[in-house]
Amino acid sequence: MAVLLERIDDVRWLLPRSYKASMRVPGRIYGDETIVAALREDLSLEQVANVASLPGIVGYSLAMPDVHQGYGFPIGAVAAFDTEEGIVSPGGVGYDISCGVRLMVSTLEVDDLKGRCEDLARALFRAVPSGVGSRSSLRLSGEELCRVLEKGARWAVDRGLGEAADLARIEEGGTFGGADGGALSHRALERGLDQLGTLGSGNHFIEVQVVDAVYDVDRAAAFGLSPGRVAVMIHCGSRGLGHQVCDDGIRLMARMKGSRAVAVPDRQLCCALLGSAEAEAYLAAMRSAANYALANREVIGHQVRSVFCAFGSRGLNLLYDVSHNIAHVERHRVDGVLRRLCVHRKGATRALPPGHGSLSPELRPLGQPVLVPGSMGTASYVLVGTESGAEEAFASTCHGAGRQLSRQAAKKATIGQNLTRRLAGEGIVVCAEREGTLREEAPEAYKDIDAVVDVVERSGISAKVARLRPLAVIKG
């Protein structure tokens, strides 16, 4: 693989256009030597090249340091497409549309939870439905579901299931514009009726954390992150509704014929030209699913707030809520020219720099908080967007540690281990439906989060603000 990649500097690598005749732009990979060496193990680089071959792609096909093989697009991909000549691809967003992370900061210090962490974890586990087949206590009518799809987190606030102050701390003010519930299939709507306010399973989690390192004292203080402060991170998405929207979009685009069809090297990359009826329908449905995800995290946040209040926290302040599976139409400067682009981030996080007009007035001078969860049992980070990230990476950065072992390999690597007991030995309480899920999600299944974050900081595409370590993990 070293032959294919040209090293630009310590943390940037070029996949040249000569790698594949169909490539319209080169690929750029962010990573250190260890991360790049690991790319030999899967098809990530091939997928970076395939994305670089799609019509209307601008600049580079980017891979963040947490990149690993996905469906069509790799996970950890950023690709921007010209809105006049480019495409939108459901596979470039992913199945779990607007899967994302929020971080809420409590008024508790870590000592306030001494001897009570297990009780807190159990209370959270009871309060938030999680696991396979979990159902919400909310029963939405079809009409109300359509309001969720149009209003996102704002719907939850209006229903008393969230706080108005949260909206300034959620991307797009809590509502993605251009949503249309009418663009969703009956199946997608049906799958969304009883899952709002549920965590789901797999790698989704609620994690109680404590701030254990601060790198940017001023920003950390402005974000309410002081050493010893307890916070809670929530990672989940749009549940079955989002999956159905992705599936419907792929089915529609894979069936397009004639001049509307876009030739792709992998059916999972199927796409539609921006401006076409198919692209517009998908974008309207995708934004609706994204609103469902924002509402889902707001409702879960509300449930988590109640539990924290019972444990003595005077509220939970939302630091930020951001998606890492989404396509946004944004303006970016490319070679000195301001262009309107459809930026796909699949397993990548938007990271707006200080001064950006899309940030709320309170965050504008600071820049956008970027939330990067680690694997279960390892640290998570709060980063901030930078000007150089906006210039060279369409204001994007990594989204997590990124998988390095398959589920089966992770199970093998932890054979005979009781993860709950092992993590308890490290001072981390775990509540989960199944021990099997825990072993699939064991820390060794993921890349070293410190190395991933180190790469994005050294490359300058985002900057460290604080690190948090886990106290308790709730998994589906």
Q: Which active-site residues does the annotation give?
A: 399
Among 109, 190, 278, 454, binds other proteins (CB under 8 A): 190
**Residues numbered 428-467 forming contacts with other proteins, rule: CB under 8 A:** 434, 436
* Torsion sign over Cα 129, 135, 137, 141: positive
**Contact between 254 and other proteins per CB under 8 A:** yes
Q: Interacting stretch for other proteins, rule CB under 8 A, among 31-39, 77-85, 236-244, 290-298?
A: 236-244
Query: What is d(CA 437, CA 454) in angstroms, rounded to the nearest whole number?
Result: 28
Among 86, 240, 374, 400, binds other proteins (CB under 8 A): 240
Residue 326 parent element (H or E): strand 325-334
Query: What is d(CA 394, CA 435) in angstroms, rounded to the nearest whole number?
Result: 39
Q: Smallest distance from the beta carbon of 408 to other proteins, in angstroms? A: 5
Among 20, 32, 42, 276, binds other proteins (CB under 8 A): 42
How much of the chain is in helix, strand and coil states, percent to nearest 5? 35, 25, 35
Q: Is 374 helix (H, G, I), strand (E, B) or coil?
A: coil
**Contact between 235 and other proteins per CB under 8 A:** no
Nearer to other proteins by C-beta: 317 or 375? Answer: 375
Size of the site for other proteins (CB under 8 A): 41
Q: Is 215 helix (H, G, I), strand (E, B) or coil?
A: coil
Query: What is d(CA 362, CA 96) in angstroms, rounded to the nearest whole number?
Result: 30
Q: Interacting stretch for other proteins, rule CB under 8 A, among 12-20, 186-194, 329-337, 450-458?
A: 186-194
Angle between helices 142-151 and 277-310 (to 10 degrees): 90
Amino acid present at 83? T
Q: Interacting stretch for other proteins, rule CB under 8 A, among 112-120, 125-133, 170-178, 369-377?
A: 125-133
Contact between 68 and 75 (Cβ < 8 Å)? yes
Number of Cβ within a 10 Å radius of residue 427 = 12
Query: What is d(CA 279, CA 270) in angstroms, rounded to the nearest whole number?
Result: 11
Q: Interacting stretch for other proteins, rule CB under 8 A, among 67-75, 115-123, 276-284, 423-431?
A: 67-75
Instruction: Give the strand pairing for 429-432 and 462-475.
Output: parallel
Nearer to other proteins by C-beta: 141 or 408? Answer: 408
Amino acid present at 199? L
**Contact between 268 and other proteins per CB under 8 A:** yes
Nearer to other proteins by C-beta: 247 or 330? Answer: 247
Q: Smallest distance from the beta carbon of 203 to other proteins, in angstroms? A: 7
Q: Interacting stretch for other proteins, rule CB under 8 A, among 10-18, 148-156, 267-275, 462-470?
A: 267-275
**Contact between 324 and other proteins per CB under 8 A:** no
Length of the chain: 476
Query: What is d(CA 97, CA 399) in angstroms, rounded to the nearest whole number?
Result: 14
**Residues numbered 74-103 forming contacts with other proteins, rule: CB under 8 A:** 95-96
Q: Smallest distance from the beta carbon of 405 to other proteins, in angstroms? A: 8
Q: Is 218 helix (H, G, I), strand (E, B) or coil?
A: helix
**Residues numbered 203-232 forming contacts with other proteins, rule: CB under 8 A:** 203
Amino acid present at 384? V
Among 250, 351, 359, 473, binds other proteins (CB under 8 A): 250
**Residues numbered 379-418 forming contacts with other proteins, rule: CB under 8 A:** 403, 405-409
**Contact between 255 and other proteins per CB under 8 A:** yes
**Contact between 53 and other proteins per CB under 8 A:** no
Q: Which residue has the tokens 């009883």?
A: 194
Write a three-state SS string for 417-473.
CCHHHHHHHCCCEEEECCHHHHHHCCHHHECCHHHHHHHHHHHCCEEEEEEEEEEEE
Contact between 128 and 302 (Cβ < 8 Å)? no
**Contact between 267 and other proteins per CB under 8 A:** yes
Question: What is the binding site for other proteins (CB under 8 A)?
Answer: 42-43, 68-72, 95-96, 131-133, 187, 190-191, 200-203, 240, 243-244, 246-247, 250-251, 254-255, 266-268, 270, 403, 405-409, 434, 436, 476
